[in-house]
Amino acid sequence: MSTATGSGRLSGTTLAARAAAVLRDNDTGALVTASPKLYPHMWSWDAAFIAIGLAYLDVRRALTELGTLLAAQWSDGMLPHIVFTDADGYFPGPDRWGTDTVTRRPASVRTSGICQPPVHAIALRRIVDVARANSAVEAELAESFTARAWQALYRWHRWIARHRIAEPQGLLTIVHGWESGMDNSPRWDAPYAGVRPGPDLPPYVRLDTLGVDDPAERPSDDEYHRYLWLIEQMRRAGYEPAEVLATSDFRVGDVFSTALFAVACDDLAHLADDLSLPFRAEVADLRTWAARSRRAVADAADPVSGLAFDLDLRSGERLRTRTVAAFAPLLCSALAEPLETRLLSDLTGPDWAGHPGLAAAVPPSVSPRVNGFDPRRYWRGPQWPVVVWLFSFALRRGGHTALARRWRQEGLRLLSDGSFGEYYEPFTGEPLGSTQQSWTAAVALDWLCGW
């Protein structure tokens, strides 16, 4: 674990203790909320990262987190993006989603009706590794959980493969910017321009802007109107996967989610092999989906720069916006040399992590040198620790150890005030959005205790 990091910053030990306190404070028993004020529910991809963080505190509790999410899985395999607690104060809540009448949803929980990036098998593999390093007892807990949960995770992946892989390109299709996890990223500006809210959109009042110091750190009202319209369309389609694809004003092939799907498929297959689980045909499926997805990311990459671009499946337009998601090939090792090196030098260079003005040398969500970069507004410029963690983790696995360690160090520097911001202003390091954000605390724990 690292020691003191400099004046006004917490030592590694204190930071880890504070991160643990965030996860404990946000713990309702069965789930850790994404944050105490702004997000008092469970979010699907947050839960995966949170479970990794929890593994350093208590492996059993980490497995419960994944178990809670899997208990909300729909009967067709979809893992919903929000599992609601009883808390008020978040909009859109379960009534607005209107999933109570959907019979594919388990009756015991209220959920949203869309999904988020499939990082759960990546988390489970990580937790098994942490548990094995901890003790034989924890290893046994993690391994038996894996044997029990494996098929549910496979069904989740199969749902994606069946309903959300758009051929011939092979990219993972999203039907709402929220499904990407990068809600208002400029990646989605062009597709959102085609979303035209109808006059019959039921009225609503936003609550999210009350949970932050400055509403300018959140998406605009105009964006929210489109977000709500897409929900209305899906609700009218009964959240039926084929009907949603046929009727949604938003249908985009997401390179970042596709790359994560490739890695998650390989990780789930690896877990079955590692534990000698009797799922030979399913493992073959996973390997096929992984290879297909990796190829789709490679095909989406510009042959000169290596940057991978999303595809608007409604207009056929390639979305050439320079956001951090364009480095998706690095997540799943999709590109051969010299393109991988080209991408790495771009991402570490002055347009990105090497920009001379940054407080911490990690990639922002959008390059500061791109028109429209906004250092304070959510996914349109700030640095997101969880995204930095994903790249550092992938780079380490891919053998780029020195860079992975550097980003771990710089990522920790970003977090070292101990407030665990949702995202950070890249030039000042100011925490923005929510504080005590659980997944930020979780990645801090992994960087501090697992490297």
Could you give the string, one character per residue 188-227, with x where binding to ligand 2M8 holds by CB under 6 A and - elsewhere? --------------------x-------------------
In this complex, which beta carbon is closest to ligand 2M8, that of residue 46 or of residue 446? 46
In degrees, to the nearest 5, what angle opens at C-alpha 338 toward C-alphas 333 and 343?
60
Q: Is 351 a catalytic residue?
A: no
Could you give the C-alpha distances from 281 to 235, 278, 284, 285, 286, in angstroms and in order?
Answer: 35, 9, 5, 6, 9
- Give the burial class of 311: count Cβ atoms within 10 A of its Cβ; 0-12 exposed, 13-18 middle, 19 or more buried: buried
By the rule CB under 6 A, 389 interacts with ligand 2M8: no
Name the amino acid, one letter, at 422. E
Could you give the string, one character per residue 154-183, with x where binding to ligand 2M8 holds by CB under 6 A and - elsewhere? ------------------------x--x-x
Size of the site for ligand 2M8 (CB under 6 A): 10
In this complex, which beta carbon is closest to ligand 2M8, that of residue 10 or of residue 34? 34
- Taking the complex as a whole, the smallest distance from the CB of residue 437 to ligand 2M8 amounts, in Å, to 7
In this complex, which beta carbon is closest to ligand 2M8, that of residue 115 or of residue 330? 115
By the rule CB under 6 A, 65 interacts with ligand 2M8: no
Choice among 217, 346, 417, 422 that is catalytic? 422
By the rule CB under 6 A, 231 interacts with ligand 2M8: no
- Give the burial class of 78: count Cβ atoms within 10 A of its Cβ; 0-12 exposed, 13-18 middle, 19 or more buried: buried
Q: Is 430 a catalytic residue?
A: no
The residue among 84, 130, 137 whose CA lies nearest residue 106 is 84
By the rule CB under 6 A, 312 interacts with ligand 2M8: no
**Structure tokens given for 299:** 């095909």
Considering only the stretches 17-25, 40-48, 142-150, 242-250, report the one whose residues sit in contact with ligand 2M8 under the rule CB under 6 A. 40-48
Out of 32, 40, 43, 367, the residue judged to bind ligand 2M8 by CB under 6 A:
43
The backbone torsions φ and ψ at residue 253, rounded to the nearest 5 degrees and listed phi first, read -85, 120
**Structure tokens given for 79:** 């893992």
Contact 79, 111 (CB under 8 A): no
Positive or negative, the CA dihedral 29, 34, 38, 39 is negative
Q: Which residues bind ligand 2M8 (CB under 6 A)?
A: 34, 39, 43, 45-46, 81, 178, 181, 183, 208
